[in-house]
Homo-oligomer: A and B are copies of this chain.
Amino acid sequence: MIEDKSQSKTNLSELGEFGLIRHLTEHFKITQDSTRKGVGDDAAVIDHASLKTLVTTDLLIEGIHFNLTYMPLKHLGYKAVMVNLSDVYAMNAEATQITVSIAVSNRFPLEALEELYAGIQLACDTYQIDLVGGDTSSSKTGLILSVTALGTSAEKDIVYRDGAKENDLLVVSGDLGAAYLGLQVLERERQVFDVNPNQQPDLDQYTYLIERQLKPEARKDVSKLLKDLKIKPTSMIDISDGLSSEVIHLCKSSALGCNVYEDKLPLDPQVISTSEEFNMDSTVVALNGGEDYELLFTISQNDFNKVKGNPNFSIIGHMTPENEGIHLVTRANQKMELTAQGWDAMLKNDA
């Protein structure tokens, strides 16, 4: 979070658009056999042969989706890739290629974009993804990032949102709410920094939360874990907007209701302690926090024994008939209707 003001700054206009693209992408290697032509022509050429191609895209805007005060550019680049890979993994598919378009105002020197692309490259290297296209242009205000991911899968392996059945178990990977609390911690530190720039923050007790916010990992491993367990989920979605919102998506897509059990929600100890510190209800944090990039899926009751006790997965509820509604069953055994927050609230705040 501490910037070295002495570093060199190269104005983007020295490179031009094509020079800039070349400069930023020349160290990206092609690792996928299916990439026939990457950056440098009108379009990339992909050969997925008899496999199905998957495509997903996200637009990330400074001041809306990220704040560069506490999001280092390298982390932003990494996260922008993760957000898209997560969507491909949520189809039970393999992610293979991305395109990245950026628009920047003149306050960004070349070195800033190099940082951004270093994060994108780290993500590509770690997840074996080929960068195959994109463009750069100027913006009037801040940084805009648009990432599109392609993936591939045999048709029989693809998992949609609409395949859940009555009585299916609702399962989530990892744990919930940490990314949201990480953002709260960073926001508080920024306010402290504004008041006293010399005070060094002690963030040791929040490391997991901050990492989940700044460097989320897309759950590439879940597809393999499930295959090893011989489970094909009946429906699946990734958790970007918060558990509640995604549970509602799955239910509506599959025309079902659902009971989610409060005492089954997987929470990291840092989530519990930090929720208390912020006077927040950790259940509300887990339900509405968002940006966890875990996978939420349904499986047949017959697969219960395969998942039970697996440290990667938590069974948090089960699907019910549509007319029974979508509920949280609290520790006190009360039923409360689940409601989604997130984007709507954000848009209203943007007025």
Residues of A within 8 A of B (CB): 12-13, 16-18, 36-37, 40-50, 52-59, 61, 63-65, 86-88, 90-91, 93, 97, 99, 101-103, 105-106, 132-135, 137-142, 144, 146, 148-151, 153, 155, 158, 160-162, 236-238, 249, 253, 342-344, 346-348, 350-351
Inter-chain CA distance A168–B23, complex, in Å, is 30
What 4 pairs between A and B have smallest CB-CB spacing? A43-B56, A146-B146, A42-B90, A59-B101
Q: Is B50 touching A344 in the complex (CB atoms < 8 A)?
A: no
> Complex Cα distance A234/B44, Å?
17
In the complex, which residue of chain B has the Cβ closest to the Cβ of A151? B43
Query: Which B residues are CB-close (under 8 A) to A137?
Result: 59, 61, 64-65, 343
Instruction: Report how many copies the assembly holds.
Output: 2
Known: A41-B160, A42-B56, A43-B91. A61 touches B144 (CB 8 A): yes
Q: Bound state CA distance, A135 and B148, in angstroms? A: 11
Known: A52-B46, A343-B137. A105 touches B350 (CB 8 A): yes
Residues of B within 8 A of A40 (CB): 161, 253
Whether A161 contacts B41 by the Cβ 8 Å rule is: yes
User: Contact: B146 with A88, CB < 8 Å?
Assistant: no
B43 and A90: CB pair below 8 A?
Answer: yes
12 cross-chain CB contacts under 8 A: A16-B343, A42-B56, A42-B87, A43-B56, A43-B87, A43-B149, A45-B52, A57-B148, A59-B103, A64-B137, A101-B146, A106-B350
With both chains docked as a complex, state the minimum distance between the C-beta of A255 and any C-beta of chain B, in angstroms. 13
Interchain CB contact (< 8 A) of A148 among B50, B55, B344, B350: B55
* Chain B residues in 8 Å Cβ range of A348: 13
Q: A55-B99, A97-B55 are known contacts. Are A140 and B43 too (CB-CB below 8 A)?
A: no
| B347→A12 contact, CB < 8 A | yes
Q: Is the Cβ of B52 less than 8 Å from the Cβ of A47?
A: yes
Residue from A53, A87, A140, A149 with most neighbouring chain B CB atoms (10 Å): A53
Instruction: State whether A50 touches B52 (Cβ < 8 A).
Output: no
A41–B158 Cα gap in the complex (Å)?
Answer: 11
Residue in B16, B42, B54, B97 whose CB lies within 8 Å of A45:
B54
Q: Given A55-B132, A64-B103, output 13 extra A-B contacts at Cβ < 8 Å.
A: A37-B158, A40-B161, A43-B88, A43-B93, A45-B53, A45-B54, A46-B54, A55-B133, A57-B146, A58-B101, A59-B103, A61-B137, A138-B346
A221 CB to closest chain B CB (Å) equals 17
**Residues of B with C-beta under 8 A to A151:** 43
